[in-house]
Amino acid sequence: MHSRLVVMEDSKDFGSVVRINQMRYYPTMRILQFFLMFIVLGLGVSIISMNTFRYFGVRSAAPVVPSVSIVQPRLEEPSGNGIDSWIKTPSDLLHSMSDQELLWRASFVPQVKEYPFKRVSKIAFMFLTKGPLPMAPLWQRFFKGHEGLYSIYVHTAPSYVADFPPSSVFYRRQIPSQVAEWGEMNMCDAERRLLANALLDISNEWFILLSESCVPLHSFPTVYHYIARSRYSFVDSFDEQGPYGRGRYNRKMAPEINITDWRKGYQWFEVNRELAVKIVKDKTYYPLFKEFCRPACYVDEHYFQTMLSIESPNLLANRSLTFVDWSRGGAHPATFGKYDITEEFFKKLFESKRCLYNDQPSSLCFLFARKFAPSALDRLLEVAQKVMGF
């Protein structure tokens, strides 16, 4: 459409060139009048055809181009050059940036630390999934009434097409995704991609990684205040002796990573904006993990845990906010179904651990839990009000 319009403007110029030339060679009034009429007529025709093109061009392109949904919100965006264009919440998560371009863009950090506008800090809930979100109705209820304090990002298998209705909090929250496999570097790539997309919204201050089998354990205000008032980010990170801990360290990673720096931990993290930027901008540790941490070194259990412990040990709580039950043994944690969901189950879960919160003993240690089977949803919806408070 653009190039066509340019061509038309060119032909208008061409018209005035013709006029000047004609005046020079045939200076009689009649001929001048004739050409003036000719030009007016020509202009008229070109204006009509331009509008016709605009009208029919858009009309006929609409059904063919599947990305019409991308075009629409752009028209609604504020067009001014004010601060809004830098701080507004991106209205559309689809972009055509490569990972390299995205990570670069996401690593921008303002050097002036006071915001010249009222910034309400949001929590970015980042769902790392294969596709469907069976717990969506529970999350929907969890988020209800707290608009403006959260944003949602969903990474799926690249082929998955989400079909959430416009009324859903998950509607159009899918980010451009790629294949992610457990234990492989592409899993960490997906997590960095989620962080980078979420960093594009300047109001996102905290970033939580969740899976499709995760559920919230407390109401939104409880979760928000717990995270907002914490001195630390909740990254599970510990030094484990033996084959499954230090045994996975490769000494070729030195001197950037020594064996005493090697950490292990559960994948499901919560980080603040400062740590999120550290993760997306990392060029020091990434190549080492990519080359030297391959199964049976499971990179999602070591990369961010080790890297952040070296870079920002004082910002880490060294524990996860997500409960998981390994007590049944085996390589995978327990999955809870319909018959597990009782008030007793939650009572036990809430009392299962004591921890430190801002260096003080606390019994509120977990804000989320996994893994829950789709069959558990109805029971969860039934007990949510009573045991979780939403």
- Give the alpha-carbon dihedral of 364, 228, 88, 171, to 10 degrees: 0
103 vs 308 by CB, closer to ligand NAG = 308
Nearer to ligand NAG, 167 or 314 (CB): 314
CA distance 262 to 305: 8
Indicate the residue whose CB is closest to ligand NAG.
313
- According to CB under 6 A, which one of 142, 143, 153, 232 is a site residue for ligand NAG? 232
CB of 333 to ligand NAG, least distance (A): 23
Nearest-approach distance from CB 122 to ligand NAG, in angstroms: 24
Query: What does the DSSP 8-state code read for residue 61?
Result: H
318 counts as binding ligand NAG under rule CB under 6 A = yes
Q: Which is nearer to ligand NAG, 142 or 232 (CB)?
A: 232
Could you give the string, one character per residue 192-231, with x where binding to ligand NAG holds by CB under 6 A and - elsewhere? Answer: ----------------------------------------
151 vs 233, which CB is nearer to ligand NAG?
233
Site for ligand NAG in 255-274 (CB under 6 A): 255-258, 261
Within positions 10 to 69, which residues make up the interface with ligand NAG, using CB under 6 A? none
Closer residue to ligand NAG, CB minimum distance, 204 or 309 = 309
Non-local CB neighbours of 210 within 8 Å, separated by 6+ positions: 125, 126, 127, 128, 268, 322, 368
Instruction: Determine if 310 is a binding residue for ligand NAG (CB under 6 A).
Output: yes
Of 196, 209, 317, 384, the one binding ligand NAG by CB under 6 A: 317
Residues of span 239-258 touching ligand NAG by CB under 6 A: 254-258
User: How many of the chain's residues bind ligand NAG (CB under 6 A)?
Assistant: 14
| Minimum gap (Å) between residue 320 Cβ and ligand NAG | 13
Of the candidates 267, 307, 255, the one whose C-alpha atom is nearest the C-alpha of residue 283 is: 307
Least Cβ distance, residue 268 to ligand NAG (angstroms)? 17
Q: Are 129 and 373 in contact (CB under 8 A)?
A: no
Q: Compute the least distance from the CB of residue 57 to ligand NAG, in Å.
A: 59
Q: Collapsing DSSP states into helix, strand and coil, what is residue 86?
A: helix
Residues 6+ apart with CB under 8 A from 14: none
- Least distance (Å) from ligand NAG to the CB of residue 154? 30
* Closest CB to ligand NAG among residues 197, 306: 306
Q: Give start and end residues of each alpha helix (H) in the chain.
A: 2-25, 29-64, 68-76, 84-87, 99-106, 136-143, 185-199, 220-228, 273-281, 286-292, 303-311, 343-351, 377-383
3-class secondary structure, 256: coil
Distance of CA 311 to the CA centre of its chain: 23
Q: Does 313 bind ligand NAG (CB under 6 A)?
A: yes
Q: Which structure tokens are listed for 109?
A: 């950090």
User: Closest separation between CB of residue 197 and ligand NAG, Å?
Assistant: 28
Of 151 and 309, which has the nearer Cβ to ligand NAG? 309
User: In angstroms, what CA-CA distances link 170 with 37, 101, 142, 162, 215?
Assistant: 59, 25, 13, 9, 15
DSSP string, 346-368: HHHHHHS--EEETTEEES---SE
Nearer to ligand NAG, 216 or 265 (CB): 265
Query: Judged by CB, which is closer to ligand NAG: 197, or 237?
Result: 237
DSSP states of 271-315 as a string?
Answer: EEHHHHHHHHH--SSHHHHHHH--TTS-GGGTHHHHHHHHH-GGG
Among 309, 320, 367, 377, binds ligand NAG (CB under 6 A): 309
Cβ-based neighbours of 303, under 8 Å, separated by 6 or more: 188, 285, 286, 289, 293
In the complex with ligand NAG, which residue's Cβ is closer, 256 or 274? Answer: 256
**Binding region for ligand NAG (CB under 6 A):** 232, 254-258, 261, 309-310, 313-314, 316-318
